[in-house]
Amino acid sequence: MQAGYATKQRESQDRNMSQSQRQAIFITGAASGMGRETAMLFAGKGWFVGATDVNEGGLKTLEQVLGSENCWIRKLDVTAKPDFEAALAAFTEKSGGRLDLMFNNAGIGESGWFEDVPYEAAMRVVQINFVGALNGAYAALPWLKKTPNSLLFTTSSSSATYGMPRIAVYAATKHAVKGLTEALSIEWARHGVRVADVLPGLIDTAILRSTP
């Protein structure tokens, strides 16, 4: 009995050691679009993928594609900071404490003349696109600091280059993301953490098709 227990403990330790040597990425908005494609890309390169979204069905189909040994999925509303922190704690337990790349990707859009977009809808864009990115930065920093050469990476937008009509609030959130990224790239250098963003143009994804 004791020999069998010792063997199981060694196997568990070996698995944990192996997992801690595998690079890990945590993705928000991973059920579709850029997030899903990023998950597939990094899993194909041997990374352990944490995939989160409010779309549980999309996460489950992603897990079927990647294999449960290569990914960890969880429903996550990025506007809820305690849930974000709990999700990262659970993921890093699976990744052996590693967080090489935190990808703040979750986002939504609303279009129309400024005064025609309901206030509640505009605030939802702000909460997901910018507050969600803030929550991700706050929640991820402790784990990024523990992982050498780690990166906080956020999806901004080409609309962050200048204010675009009929997507005023969306563009404003992406300007905010860009400004936050530029500031943190300087601040977090003292922690050895890199910070960057991407400014994609129009891409045929769920967010584009669902934006009125």
What are the catalytic residues? 170
User: How far apart are the C-alpha atoms of 127 and 135, rounded to whole Å?
Assistant: 10
Which residue, 83, 67, 59, 73, is CA-closest to 26? 73
Q: Could you tell me if 144 and 192 are in contact, meaning their C-beta atoms sit under 8 angstroms apart? A: no
If phi > 0 it is left, if psi is from -120 to 50 it is alpha, else beta; for residue 67 that is left
Q: d(Cα 157, Cα 37) in Å, to the nearest integer?
A: 17
Task: Return the ∠ at Cα 57 (arms to 108 and 203), rounded to 5°.
Answer: 35
Sheet (strand 151-155) strand order: 71-75, 48-53, 24-28, 101-104, 151-155, 194-198
Q: Which residue has the tokens 């079927």?
A: 64
Q: Which of 212, 172, 207 is nearest to 53 (CA)?
A: 207
SS3 at position 112: coil
Length of the chain: 212
